[in-house]
Structure 1
Amino acid sequence: MIRILVYLAIALAALAPSIAHAERVRDLGQFQGVRSNQLTGYGIVVGLAGTGDDNLEYLTLAMKGVSGRMGLQLPPGVSPGLKNAAAVMVTAELPAFSKPGQRIDVTVSTIGKAKSLRGGALIMTPLYGADGQIYAMAQGNLAVGGLGIAANDGSKLTVNVPTVGRISDGASVERGVATGFEHGDVVRYNLFNADFLTASRVRDAINARLPGMATIEDGVTVAIRLPPGADTRASLMAVIEMIEVEPAETPARVIVNSRTGTVVINSAVRIAPAAISHGKLTVRIDEEPRVIQPGPFSEGVTAVEQNSEIALEEDGNAVALFEPGASLAGIVDALNLLGTSPSDLVAILEALKQAGALKAEMVVI
């Protein structure tokens, strides 16, 4: 299977440089201000089958507050039993141009010792934006994909994550976020990744369709002069989003995941002339002491004679030579012939980088 994957990577790398692909403007970036906003809130899930937070103090205070809002005042010193309730954090994403009355999905996660949210219902919870204003109200029954059970002897079984649930269309939007895209003289388009060549190609493609409207502000932003008015701007922005542009080739990068040993090399990576010798030196020492008995009727004593055997093995003593400008196909092919493991591959790439032969940025995650 590994050999098949390596051959597939080599084949794809060999084909990659010859394939010209175009992408829509909408897939390369987005218009400034036309974005989603994050919402958060603190709430309580009730109706749990004994898997809640029990008598945690912050949950007790929250339940007293909820009871007070509903006109029920608990006697002083009385703490409600809360095994059927859990304190949770509620998160949601408010899409651009959301209007009051629209519905959005919410995610509910425990913040205490609750074992499971299965079967619970979220009490009406306000969701706040970064400015501290309420933008939505969440409430509803949770859909939990996980399962957690426990027996009397202490044994437990957990499937997936039962402490996180989701409510589809669980929040109602109460306030919209003004984008201001219909006002001003300029609408700014921002690339997801900074690149001067891609920005210039986006400008040229827009000007070919709408002459003289686009200019470059920096490696990310293209300023587009559009006439005022929401209807006119929306129509022109729809046209601009569907324009196809051939983006610039991505920078040469080698991505290394130090936790899993995964190494990803993109097709732009090149190697300067270099030779690599990769091998493993193994030294094995075997100790087999022998007991020596004295002869009969002699004055000798029993002794232990040391018997040691030392063996040295060196595997993988091949040398790989990279020609000038070697591409991804050559790199993968040569390192595969050396029989390198993922951890060895990381060490080889780091050595090539230090030697100045690896023409790429190394990113360790």
Structure 2
Amino acid sequence: MTAVLLLQPFEVQAASARIKDIVNIEGVRENQLVGYGLVVGLNGTGDSLNNSPFTKQSLTAMLERLGVNTRGENMRTANVAAVMVTANLPAFASQGSRLDVNVAAIGDASSLQGGTLLVTPLLGADGEAYAIAQGSMTINGFSAKGDAASVVSGVPTTGRIASGGLIEREIGFVLGAQRTLRLSLRNPDLTTSRRVALAINDFIGTPCATPEDPTNIRITLPRNFNGNIVDLLTDVEQLVVQTDLPAKIVIDENSGIIVMGQDVRVSTVAVAQSNLTVTIAENPTVVQPNPLSQGQTAVQPSTTLNVNTVDSNLAVIPDSVTLQQLVDGLNALGIAPRDLIAILQAIKASGALQAEIEVL
């Protein structure tokens, strides 16, 4: 018997979004900072200096800068930990502004609770120091242990210092002085790139925006515009355009998650599924020896093996069905997500699926 999916028509509507929600502006970006420092004041939960030579060297160098000579001495403190400090420098952040920093241990410290980060320069990709970090940390976990048991909650070897970074150097980029710049689509697409340029040109009334590729739209300040590039961006970022994306199916085989785009289409194809179930049951029996035989009691294994094959009906998926119709039809077959992954890949292999499959 053949099961035919009865699918109802479904109207697909294009999604609309503001330009400011789908593009990044050239030059408006964060910069990542990183630094190496020391956390002090730990309650015996810091690095063991014998196992962490970098901590010992850093501690010795720091004390020498403060006028204390400890070279050649056997230090046994466990209240110091070497850490990596990271932060994001916001776009157009001014000198003297504050930023949050994250701290993570790199030695064998068991907890950073109660510690204080000493002055740590934060460097950019060019090797220049853009901020200085210092302060008391807050951590999201804790650890406690006794002689025979211990408990750890969260990650006590990472912490955060709110407003612990002080910006010392600014990024030399003045947005208002630019005469031309690029808008970069977060989801590259030729159609969307052209629509963004057309929307800007229609609003301004002059061809000031040009799509360069699926990602970038170059925008130039018109000569008769009353303002600078910031005024122009403020005017155009509220414009609404219809976004367009390629037909794609994203599959995560580890979790069984399947995400389909709205433009996924399937040509006429027949689908059948077979489930194989194997059941193994162990029923050991005890065998007693005959009287006066001087034998020993033994356990005789007994295994019951059942193999069940459940075949589903052959279902026909009509030509050019929409996403909603495809999902409704496959759900009507009672197909599990992991079985659906194999079915979609088989349909793609047959050439009947007009969509790209991306496996995470």
TM over 0.5: yes
Is 1:227–1:233's contact at 8 Å kept on the other side of the alignment? no
- State whether structure 2 residue 302 is matched by structure 1 residue 271: no
- State whether structure 2 residue 28 is matched by structure 1 residue 34: yes
Provide the TM-score with structure 1 as the length reference: 0.83
Structure 1: runs of 5 or more not aligned: 1-9, 291-306
**Match for residue 281 of structure 1?**
276
For the residue of structure 1 that corresponds to 2:357, the secondary structure is: strand
Is 1:45–1:85's contact at 8 Å kept on the other side of the alignment? yes
- What per-residue deviation string (whole Å, max 9, x for no partner) do you get for residues 151-202 of structure 1? 212x221212211111111100010112243445312211112211111111
Is 2:46–2:81's contact at 8 Å kept on the other side of the alignment? yes
Seen in structure 2, the aligned counterparts of structure 1 residues 49 and 212 have a Cα distance that, compared at 3 Å, is: same
Counterpart CA distance in 2 for 1:289 and 1:21 is 63
- What per-residue deviation string (whole Å, max 9, x for no partner) do you get for residues 33-67 of structure 1? 11111001111111112221121111011111221
Q: How does 1:1-365 map to 2 (within 5 A)?
A: 17-18=12-13, 20-55=14-49, 56-74=52-70, 76-153=71-148, 155-210=149-204, 211-226=206-221, 232-248=228-244, 250-282=245-277, 312-365=307-360
| Cα offset, 1:227, TM superposition | 6.2
Q: 2:18 is aligned with what amino acid?
A: R
For the residue of structure 1 that corresponds to 2:84, the secondary structure is: strand
Counterpart CA distance in 1 for 2:17 and 2:351 is 34
Q: 1:327 is aligned with what amino acid?
A: T
| Cα offset, 1:268, TM superposition | 2.0
> In percent, how many aligned pairs have the same letter?
38
For the residue of structure 1 that corresponds to 2:139, the secondary structure is: coil
Seen in structure 2, the aligned counterparts of structure 1 residues 54 and 312 have a Cα distance that, compared at 3 Å, is: closer
Is 1:320–1:334's contact at 8 Å kept on the other side of the alignment? no
Seen in structure 2, the aligned counterparts of structure 1 residues 85 and 320 have a Cα distance that, compared at 3 Å, is: farther
- Which deviates the most, 143-152 or 327-336? 327-336
Point out the structure with the larger helix share: 1
Counterpart CA distance in 2 for 1:117 and 1:316 is 58
| Cα offset, 1:351, TM superposition | 1.0
Counterpart CA distance in 1 for 2:321 and 2:79 is 64
Counterpart CA distance in 2 for 1:109 and 1:309 is 55
- What per-residue deviation string (whole Å, max 9, x for no partner) do you get for residues 186-245 of structure 1? 12211112211111111111112222211222221111111699x722222211222222
Seen in structure 2, the aligned counterparts of structure 1 residues 309 and 51 have a Cα distance that, compared at 3 Å, is: closer
Seen in structure 2, the aligned counterparts of structure 1 residues 240 and 68 have a Cα distance that, compared at 3 Å, is: farther
Is 1:106–1:169's contact at 8 Å kept on the other side of the alignment? yes
| Cα offset, 1:128, TM superposition | 0.3
Structure 2: runs of 5 or more not aligned: 1-6, 286-301
Is 2:276–2:309's contact at 8 Å kept on the other side of the alignment? yes
| Cα offset, 1:345, TM superposition | 1.9
Q: CA RMSD in A?
A: 2.9
| Cα offset, 1:133, TM superposition | 0.3
Seen in structure 2, the aligned counterparts of structure 1 residues 276 and 57 have a Cα distance that, compared at 3 Å, is: same
Is 1:60–1:82's contact at 8 Å kept on the other side of the alignment? no
Is 2:265–2:321's contact at 8 Å kept on the other side of the alignment? yes
Seen in structure 2, the aligned counterparts of structure 1 residues 283 and 106 have a Cα distance that, compared at 3 Å, is: closer
Counterpart CA distance in 1 for 2:159 and 2:284 is 64
Counterpart CA distance in 2 for 1:322 and 1:79 is 77
Counterpart CA distance in 2 for 1:173 and 1:223 is 32
Aligned residues: 335
Is 1:37–1:129's contact at 8 Å kept on the other side of the alignment? yes
Seen in structure 2, the aligned counterparts of structure 1 residues 279 and 71 have a Cα distance that, compared at 3 Å, is: same
For the residue of structure 2 that corresponds to 1:177, the secondary structure is: coil
For the residue of structure 1 that corresponds to 2:315, the secondary structure is: strand
| Cα offset, 1:119, TM superposition | 1.4
| Cα offset, 1:278, TM superposition | 0.8
Seen in structure 2, the aligned counterparts of structure 1 residues 97 and 309 have a Cα distance that, compared at 3 Å, is: closer
Q: 1:329 is aligned with what amino acid?
A: Q
For the residue of structure 2 that corresponds to 1:345, the secondary structure is: helix
Q: 2:246 is aligned with what amino acid?
A: P
